[in-house]
Amino acid sequence: MIKSSKHQKTIPIALEVTGGLNLQSSPVAIADNEAELMQNWCYEKGAKTPSTRPAIVCETTTACSDEIIYLFHYTKDASNSWIMGVSDVFDVYYYNTTTNVWTDTTINLNQKPSMVTFNGKLLMAHGATTLATWDGSSAGTQNIDGSIAPSVIAEVGNRVVINDTQTTGRDFVGFSKVEDETGWTFTNVGGAVSLRVGYKDGSEVVGLIKNFKNELIVLKQGDRSETIYRVQTLGAPYDASGNTSWVAEFVMAGQGASNTHCCESIDTAVLFLGRYGLGAMVADELYSELNLQDIGKKVNTVLGAVGNTNYEIRYFATTGQLWIFRQSDEIFIYHPHNGAFTTYNLNNEQIYSGTETSEGVFCAGESGHLYRLDAGGERDEFTPSTYSDLLGILRMKDIDLGHGRGLVKSAEFVFKAISDCATSIVYKDNMKDRQVVVDTYTGEEPELADFSTCTVDFYASDAYDYMGINGQAWSQEIKKKFKSKRIQFQINTTGRLQFDTVTCQVAMLGG
């Protein structure tokens, strides 16, 4: 028998979501500051509490006829730069900001490329024995000495660095002559340098990343193995006898990247996405050793699931976010400043790649359009001049109220409006598979005593509260009671808002 709630103990519960997603545990076992679902939520750069993501703007008036699978921002000089897009048939385009369309460079590649800007040129490694090049007006090629066929390209110490995809060169790493992308003679006189990394270990070089010490991090992958090496490039590459003095130092095994686009350098860490999910090598206090950190442990049950296809990871400095692109309509977002994860869903579209310019973060995918995140927007535009509500869902910890049941007597949610938005608050009982929308107040502004701090452009409609953009906190007190053994709070919103905390009073009813 359920005891009367009269004279029962009342306990306060307070939840905030500073820890992001936790998918490694049951929602009832995660921490009080974690969430089960954070779709279209993020942590602004340096922020402790989450906000709904910026809106999407469609930059292209006409979509590419094929999917866009790779983006790269090519800066030729102080006056000229372009967003480059590669289609799924490996045609290379640039985004024309005058006409707002993709323009064909007439370059066709063998495969999804790796790109770098060097000496004012765009260099593209794509498995051919020549690098494809573009200078903003004309296409060209750059032969590589020894018929090397690179698929990975980077820059370290003012040298172009490449791998070799041929059977005889799977462990090859080559450095061009200093400040010369045409210099590939691997001798002391010629100035280029070549190394064997993990000599004939059966794996191939799939990633080349420059870290904070100007070291080259080399990531290799085999059928059932992954290894990481580093090459210190500060000293002279050849000794007095003309022998190569640079060496590849083994760092660790069992960790690595799925491909050249699945590794990034951020501050004093190198992040990589591989078969076990997201990991990082982080420098110690003396900056002498790189230590493995399982930064993705809260979400690697998904990111490291068998059968995953990983496309890219991209770090965007303007937002302080790492985007994780996989074969999924769900983009995982990692926020290094607080170690938290959220997810974005962009109209259920497969997004393959992203890049960043002074105008912000751009991304593209199966639609062939180029999108940009607009921090000032409140509605998404996935096709030109067609707008839809930006939908965000935040589902918090599942709270076990003990052997008996609890009665939620009241709850207070604290938000801050960033733009016009419509928000509903849901109480969920997962044991009985029921949920109740508890914020269904309708009325005119003078009647909304719970919203006394929100003084402009405010009205309400069924299941939603609309907030003005006066920048003040919005405190919603809910008096509706909810009896359950377990309770979970969920926020459904359109537009943009920041969520701070929820506090509630729960009367424990006993067993």
Over its length of 511 residues, how does the chain's per-residue pLDDT go in tens digits?
344 445 468 888 899 999 999 999 999 999 999 999 999 999 999 999 999 999 999 999 999 999 999 999 999 999 999 999 999 999 999 999 999 999 999 999 999 999 999 999 999 999 999 999 999 999 999 988 878 999 999 999 999 999 999 988 899 999 999 999 999 999 999 999 999 999 888 899 999 999 887 889 999 998 878 899 999 998 899 999 999 999 999 998 988 899 999 999 998 899 999 989 999 998 876 666 788 899 999 999 999 998 999 999 999 999 999 999 999 999 999 999 999 999 999 999 999 999 999 999 999 999 999 999 998 888 999 999 999 999 999 999 999 887 678 888 888 888 877 877 778 888 888 777 677 766 533 222 332 333 333 332 333 333 344 444 444 566 666 777 788 888 899 998 888 888 999 998 888 876 5
Report whether 124 contacts 92 (CB < 8 A): yes
How far is Cα 113 from Cα 165, in angstroms, rounded to an integer? 13
Quote the tokens at residue 376.
């000032």
pLDDT of res. 419: 78
How far is Cα 451 from Cα 465, in angstroms, rounded to an integer? 10
Residue 258's nearest CA partner among 246, 274, 245, 247 is 274
Bridge partners, residue 198, by sequence: none
Instruction: Report CA-CA distances (Å) from 84 to 130, 259, 267, 363.
Output: 19, 20, 26, 11
- 178 burial (CB, 10 Å; 0-12 / 13-18 / 19+) is middle
- 431 burial (CB, 10 Å; 0-12 / 13-18 / 19+) is middle
Q: How far is CA 294 from the centre of its chain?
A: 16
- What pTM does this model have? 0.91
Residues 6+ apart with CB under 8 A from 285: none
How far is Cα 88 from Cα 234, in angstroms, rounded to an integer? 39
Quote the tokens at residue 307.
């059968």
Residue 102's nearest CA partner among 91, 112, 111 is 91
pLDDT of res. 465: 45
How far is Cα 220 from Cα 259, in angstroms, rounded to an integer? 9
Q: How far is CA 259 from the centre of its chain?
A: 16
pLDDT of res. 474: 61
Residue 423's nearest CA partner among 491, 498, 488 is 491
Instruction: Report CA-CA distances (Å) from 251 to 228, 254, 292, 299.
Output: 5, 11, 10, 25
Quote the tokens at residue 52.
């709904």
pLDDT of res. 439: 54
Give the start-end residues of each E strand in 327-458.
Answer: 330-335, 340-345, 351-357, 360-365, 370-374, 379-383, 386-389, 392-400, 406-417, 421-429, 434-437
What's at 43, amino acid-wise? Answer: Y
What's at 105, amino acid-wise? Answer: T
pLDDT of res. 509: 78
How far is Cα 475 from Cα 470, in angstroms, rounded to an integer? 14
Buried b (16+ CB within 10 A) or exposed e, 470-485: eebebebebebebebb
How far is Cα 504 from Cα 277, in angstroms, rounded to an integer? 37
pLDDT of res. 473: 60
How far is Cα 76 from Cα 98, in angstroms, rounded to an integer? 18
Backbone angles phi, psi at 142, to 5 degrees: -130, 110
For residue 302, the surrounding DSSP H or E stretch is helix 300-303
How far is Cα 247 from Cα 171, in angstroms, rounded to an integer? 13
pLDDT of res. 6: 54
Residue 334's nearest CA partner among 321, 325, 353, 351 is 321
Whose tokens are 């409609």? That residue is 461
pLDDT of res. 481: 79
Please report the sign of the dihedral spanned by the C-alpha atoms of residue 469, residue 470, residue 475, residue 477: negative
What's at 327, amino acid-wise? Answer: Q
